[in-house]
Amino acid sequence: MWKHVGILLATVAAFAFSIRMMSQVIGFTSPWMVLLLFFCFLGLAKIAEPVYMLKLPASVRGLRPWELRGDVYRMLGVPGFGALLRNTPLRFANTTVYVSRQRRDPALICRQVESAEAIHFWGTLVLVPYLAFCLWTGRWNVLGAFLAVQVIGNAYPIMHLRSVRGRLDRLSRRAVRA
C-alpha cells in the first residue's frame, strides 16, 4: 500500500510542477491549461486506483435495459470504438479492464471497469464549468473543440465501459448458473 501512496504522491508532485511551468508559459486561462488539467485528473485518478477507486453515483451506476440490449450503442458505433481501443496501442491506456490468462476473475475486472467508467464520469464533470465559461463568453471554436474532447475522451469511453459491464454481468450470471 505504501508503495502505491508513494507513487501517487510523486505523480501529484510531477503534475503540480508541470502545471506550474505550463501556466508560466501560456497563462492559467489558456484552453491548453484546461486540457492539461483534464488529462492530469484522468491520470491521477487512474494512478490512485490501488489506494482509492472513484465510484459512480448510485443514480447513474445501474445499467438500463436499453443499454443491455445494445441497440443504441450499436447505432452510435460504440462497438467500433471498443475495437479501436482493443486493436491499437490505446489498449495500453488501461490494461486492467481486459480479460487475460492471468486475469479471469469477472468480479475484479468489473470493479476495474466501473472505476474506469467513474473516472470518465467525473472527468466529464471536471470539464463542464469550462464548457459553460466558453458558452458564456462566446468562445465558439474552443467550445467546439472541448465538446469533441468530451465526446471522444469521456462519452464514448463511458458508453463502451457500460456495454462491457453489461457483458460481464451476463458472463457472471451464466457462471453462477453453471
pLDDT in tens, 112-136: 899 999 999 999 999 999 999 999 9
Is residue 43 within 8 Å of residue 153, measured between CB atoms?
Answer: no
In this structure, which amino acid lies at residue 101?
R
- Look at residue 84 and give its three-state secondary structure: helix
Closest CA to 150 of 116, 175, 126: 126
46 HSE (CA, 13 A, CB side): 17
pLDDT in tens, 134-154: 999 999 999 999 999 999 999
- Locate the DSSP E strands across 72-155: none
pTM, to two decimals: 0.87
For the ranges 27-36, 77-86, 99-108, 110-119, the lowest mean pLDDT is seen at 99-108
Output the nine-digit C-alpha cell for 145: 473543440
Give the percent of the chain with pLDDT over 70. Answer: 94
- Return phi, psi of residue 170, to 5°: -65, -40
How many helices and strands (H and E) does the chain possess?
9, 0
CA 170 to chain CA centroid, Å, is 23
Confidence (pLDDT) at 102: 62
Q: What mean pLDDT comes out for the span 101-106?
A: 66
In this structure, which amino acid lies at residue 103?
R
Every domain of the chain and the residues it spans = 1-52, 60-177
Is residue 130 within 8 Å of residue 171, measured between CB atoms?
Answer: no
Confidence (pLDDT) at 107: 77
